[in-house]
Copies of this chain bind each other. A is one copy, B any other.
């Protein structure tokens, strides 16, 4: 028996991603295909690169979407920059810092971890102590920890990393498009993001950007990048400026979607988009306070786009989350690791970040808590 046609239920996506996708992006996804070397597609690729540069606030030539999800972007950055035995300092304050250590070790890195309690940020002094006396090639940081809702400031850590002779590698999966990410101003050398968070494109691509300094490191490698699929030397021949050389078949429809979602980001304007995220976060926080609920992450460093909401004593986290989905069509995420069962992760990302959604969520939560 062949399964029936899939018809997705109606949801409001207020979890850790994917976020709701605007109608014009969904429409773009359904356009007929052209070839991945079609002149029209090649031109569109150039536009995507240009719009990504504006979104990352960078002039890095090597700025393009990797054909995989955000985690492929993470692996892209580490695999291209690490050679076996390299020292890599990684800030770990949640799931994605932990993941970085795993990815980096598989690339052969000698990993030094700098840990903070989940929900707290990585402090510059911690990084300063970790690089002292060592020869780190990379300092890696998760900008917005999606697992906890903490936003670690980048500038000071970047200065420390560079002073120690290291590159700064940044996870901007959840931050890009929802709060300031200033790649050039902050001196970020390698950055990756995902499409399904504050860009509000479906998941499947990982925007990345490498500075010239990072590209110099890549070009002076002694051994080949261990991943063929993610080797930037090969990808540069397809995504670069010159004649396109076939590498892999780019995900055409995802490219259509990303093009349209970046257009929407730039039409709104980065500043305006950040403000919208900040304002709705403020409304959510107020509303939560009205219900006697707080946010788990460190005060002063709370993310606008992802809010880890404390589950009150005696309340069944999973039951309330299930009720929100089943009775209200609202998806929120569970806590992970040490926060499992202790928080709901409420996303206000991109197209999902709307005042009406905040109001609807608060009303639904109140109802479910009252049960």
Contacts and interface: CB of A to CB of B under 8 A. Distances in A.
A282 interface: no
A251 B106 contact: no
A218 B78 CA distance: 24
Nearest to A17: B249
A202 B229 CA distance: 18
Interface in A47-78: 47, 50-51, 67-72, 74-75
Contacts of A229: 68, 71-72, 75
Contacts of A226: 106-107, 226-227
Interface in A210-254: 224-229, 246-254
A351 B11 CA distance: 32
A18 B33 contact: yes
Contacts of A38: 9, 11, 325, 331
A227 B75 contact: yes
Contact of A249 (B9, B20, B99, B203): B203
Contacts of A325: 38
Interface of A: 2-3, 5-11, 13, 15, 17-18, 20-21, 24, 26-36, 38, 40-41, 44, 47, 50-51, 67-72, 74-75, 99, 102-103, 105-107, 194, 196, 202-204, 224-229, 246-254, 256-257, 259-260, 263, 266-267, 325, 331, 336
Contact of A228 (B30, B34, B75): B75
A97 B6 CA distance: 37
Q: Mostly helix, strand, loop or mixed at chain A's interface?
A: loop
A256 B2 contact: no
Nearest to A12: B32
Contacts of A106: 224-228
A278 B34 CA distance: 25
